[in-house]
Structure 1
Amino acid sequence: MSTRLACVAFDADRPRSVADFWAELLGWTVTIDRRDAVDVAAPDPDGLDLALTFRPATRAKGSKNRIHLDLASRSLEHQRVQVDRALALGARHIDIGQGTVPWVVLADPEGNEFCVLEPREEYVDTGAVAAIVVDTNDPARLAEFWSTASGWPVAHGGAQVAGLRSATGLGCWLEFIRTPDIERGRNRVHLDLAFFPADDPAAELARLRAAGATEVGPDVIGSAPGLALADPETNEFRLLRLAHDHSAV
Structure 2
Amino acid sequence: MATRLVQINMKAQDDAALGRFWAEALGWEVDSEAPGVTNLEPVGFTYPDPVAVCVDIVNSPEPKTVKNRVHLDLATDSASHQAELVARLQDLGATLADVGQGDVPWTVMADPEGNEFCVLEPRPVYRGTGPIAAVVVDCADPRAMARFWGEAMDWTVHEVTDGHATMRSSEGVGPYLEFVRTPDTKHVWNRVHLDVRPYPGDDMAAEEARLRSLGATDPGIDQFELSWTVLADPEGNEFCLLTPR
Q: Indicate the TM-score class for this superposition, using the shorter chain for normalisation.
A: over 0.9
**Matched residues in 2 for 1:205 and 1:33: separation?**
25
For the pair 1:237 / 2:233, whether they are aligned, the reply is no
Pair 1:225–1:94, CA change in 2 (3 A)? farther
Query: Pairwise CA RMSD of aligned residues?
Result: 1.7
Pair 1:47–1:187, CA change in 2 (3 A)? closer
- Corresponding residue pairs, total: 241
1:104–1:116 Cα contact (<8 Å) kept: yes
1:148 maps to 151
Secondary structure of 1:109 counterpart: coil
Secondary structure of 1:88 counterpart: helix
* Deviation of 1:82 (Å): 0.6
- Gap runs ≥5 in structure 2: none
- Gap runs ≥5 in structure 1: 244-249
Of 107, 112, 121, 1:109 maps to 112
Cα deviation, 1:111-150, whole Å, max 9, x if unaligned, reads 0000000000110111100000000100011012112222
**Aligned residue identity for 1:147:** G
**Matched residues in 2 for 1:224 and 1:16: separation?**
23
1:246 maps to none
1:32-43 alignment runs, 5 A limit: 32-43=32-43
* Deviation of 1:33 (Å): 4.8
2:59 maps to 56
* Deviation of 1:225 (Å): 4.7
**Matched residues in 2 for 1:242 and 1:123: separation?**
29
**Aligned residue identity for 2:236:** T
Secondary structure of 2:242 counterpart: strand
1:5–1:191 Cα contact (<8 Å) kept: yes
**Aligned residue identity for 2:88:** R
Secondary structure of 1:241 counterpart: coil
1:20-99 alignment runs, 5 A limit: 20-43=20-43, 45=45, 48-99=51-102
Pair 1:40–1:77, CA change in 2 (3 A)? same
Instruction: Provide the TM-score with structure 1 as the length reference.
Output: 0.92
**Matched residues in 2 for 1:91 and 1:224: separation?**
33
* Deviation of 1:215 (Å): 1.3
1:156-175 alignment runs, 5 A limit: 156-175=159-178
Pair 1:33–1:91, CA change in 2 (3 A)? farther
**Matched residues in 2 for 1:194 and 1:31: separation?**
20
For the pair 1:133 / 2:136, whether they are aligned, the reply is yes
2:227–2:243 Cα contact (<8 Å) kept: no
**Matched residues in 1 for 2:92 and 2:50: separation?**
25
2:166–2:176 Cα contact (<8 Å) kept: yes
**Matched residues in 2 for 1:34 and 1:112: separation?**
23
**Matched residues in 1 for 2:113 and 2:153: separation?**
28
**Matched residues in 2 for 1:123 and 1:172: separation?**
8
